[in-house]
């Protein structure tokens, strides 16, 4: 099962590419680095920890 690479920040709707710096929680909620910092790396949906989203190589 592959990780879903969501294309927008769930808080501010900024566009995220597959190689953008972003954070996710264990439910794959996705946030840009600015929002992650503003939320103290805590997911507002589940209360879980936000960690760096892995990056995929572009073709």
Average pLDDT for residues 33-52, to the nearest whole number?
97
Strands in 51-52's sheet, in edge-to-edge order, are 30-32, 22-24, 51-52
Q: Which domain holds residue 32?
A: 1-59
pLDDT of the residue at 57: 73
| Encoded tokens for 50 | 């936000």
pLDDT in tens, 1-40: 778 889 999 999 999 988 889 999 999 999 999 999 999 9
- The number of domains in the chain is 1
Which CATH number characterizes residue 23's domain?
3.30.40
The closest alpha carbon to 44, from 19, 22, 20, 27, belongs to 27
């Amino acid at each position: 099962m592959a990780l879903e690479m969501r294309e927008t920040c769930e808080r501010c709707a900024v566009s995220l590419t597959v190689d953008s710096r972003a954070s996710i929680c264990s439910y794959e909620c996705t946030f840009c680095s600015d929002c992650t910092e503003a939320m103290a790396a805590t997911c507002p949906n589940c209360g879980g920890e936000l960690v760096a989203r892995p990056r995929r190589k572009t073709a």
